[in-house]
A and B are shown apart, each in its own frame.
Chain A
Amino acid sequence: MIAFDFEYYKPDTVEEAFKLYKQLNLGGKKPIYYGGGTEFISMARMNNRYAGAVIDIKAIEECNVNKIVGGELIMGSALSLSKIAESNLFPLMAYIARRIADHTIQGKITLGGNLLGTIIYKEACLALLLSNSKLVIYGRDGKRTVPILDMYDQGLRLEEGELLLQIIVDERITGLPFRHVKRTKLEKIDYPLITMAAIKDGDNISLAFSGLYQYPNRSLEMEKIINDSSMPEKKKVERAIEILPEGILDDLGASSQFRKFILNELLSQVFDKFEEVC
């Protein structure tokens, strides 16, 4: 049971949602955009999160798109992880979605919620970082499209009141061979110690991780080493781990040393089999 009251709005258009946010914010209501609400409800119940108003975005048409148009896959931010998994339009993303929480919660968690929540793992981000996706954002000047790498700094940096509408991925990239490995402490359904996602474009491997740091990360420097054909595989793995910056997670889940051990194992496998997209 949530111990505080809030107002609930479910607008039909993005313009309505943005205007509402502005009004409610000016009125001191501390509004939030609301997708699946799983994080908000569980944290609000513990009084770790507060909002005076929630703006449910699930009725906004643009936020529910899931289709390929003109060589690009467009995914709405209100799509549930289940819909992403079932549609399988981006197989790597579908794999990742199927391993976030359990199947009942996957029907509730939205893509936007996973990307913009406060839980650090944000595993959906891995597929987007690897695919150099673009984000469609609605803000003060209307709609704009921005490459994810311009908006990403240890998380997506949206301005106050801005709404993530859609994510756009090049259709060619959705069809590349991929690899997804999630290592948890004990249970299959758990937050990751490390999740690794990788795609292979020709001979070039791209890698992104969740659980290694306080945020999902993709290291171009590490990729350069992994793709260096002059080094033996074992050496590449050693070098890739050596150049990791400070700050590897060290918590009750696992020590940073153990995470490095897992990373070693995951990187050693990355030269092997990639899933082929059918």
Chain B
Amino acid sequence: MIEILGQKMLTLNVNGKNRDVLVKPSDTLLFTLRNELGLTGAKPGCENGDCGACTVLVDGWPVKSCLMLAVEAIGKSIVTVEGLKDTPIQKAFVENFAFQCGYCTSGFLMVCHALANIHPDANEATIEEWLQSNICRCTGYEEISNAIKSTLEKINAIQA
């Protein structure tokens, strides 16, 4: 049984590396990533699970880190936007001008990266469903949608 009664040093696997971090049970994963590990790519937005700016990958699936306790991440593999360096989705966002103010961008990148990995054959409906988890207040949805579509097309062209 895992038992954490107060502040405790834990090991979390973040971006492929084991990182020791001081955590309280009430700390959200978002708080721990930003304030303890200095990984500020995941953004605090609504902190209520609505906006998606804080999205990270947990065992490959997109999760809103404001709605996950850091202690729940023990034994899981976490990827933040800092771990996406040189990935096709980043290039696609640049090529398609898929950002304006940039605040939502890291969250969208995580969702799109996961979508390309999990559903490389995603159809229009799946793409729409996945993009609905995040909000862009600059309303740059068209360009974000183009970015993920171009990434999926490239994946499928390589596999064909």
Please report A residues at the B interface, Cβ cutoff 8 Å: 1-2, 4-12, 16, 37-38, 41-42, 44-45, 54, 56, 58-59, 82, 101-105, 107-108, 188-189
Contact = CB atoms under 8 A, between A and B. Distances in A.
B3 A9 contact: yes
Given A42-B48, A101-B49, A188-B132, A7 B5 contact: yes
Interface residues of B, number: 32
A9 B1 contact: yes
B133 to A, nearest CB: 4
Nearest to A107: B61
Contacts of B1: 9-12, 16
Contact of B133 (A37, A56, A58, A103): A103
Nearest to B44: A1
Nearest to A80: B61
A58 B25 CA distance: 16
Contacts of A101: 49
B78 to A, nearest CB: 14
Contact of B25 (A38, A54, A107, A189): A54
A4 to B, nearest CB: 7
B124 interface: no
A8 B133 contact: no
A103 B77 CA distance: 19
Given A9-B3, A103-B130, A104-B52, A41 B28 contact: yes
B31 interface: yes
A100 B28 CA distance: 22
Nearest to A189: B132
A10 B38 CA distance: 27
Nearest to A4: B26
A1 B133 contact: no
7 contacts: A7-B3, A7-B25, A9-B1, A44-B26, A45-B47, A103-B133, A189-B132
A104 B2 contact: no
A54 B25 CA distance: 9
Nearest to A13: B1
Given A8-B2, A103-B62, 10 more contacts: A37-B72, A41-B67, A56-B72, A103-B132, A104-B55, A104-B62, A104-B133, A107-B63, A108-B64, A108-B68
A94 B98 CA distance: 32
B26 A6 contact: yes
A107 to B, nearest CB: 5
Contacts of B116: none
Given A37-B72, A102-B132, A5 B49 contact: no
A6 B71 CA distance: 12
A34 to B, nearest CB: 9
Nearest to B111: A104
Contacts of B48: 42, 45
A189 to B, nearest CB: 6
Contacts of A38: 49, 67
Interface string B121-134: 00000000110110
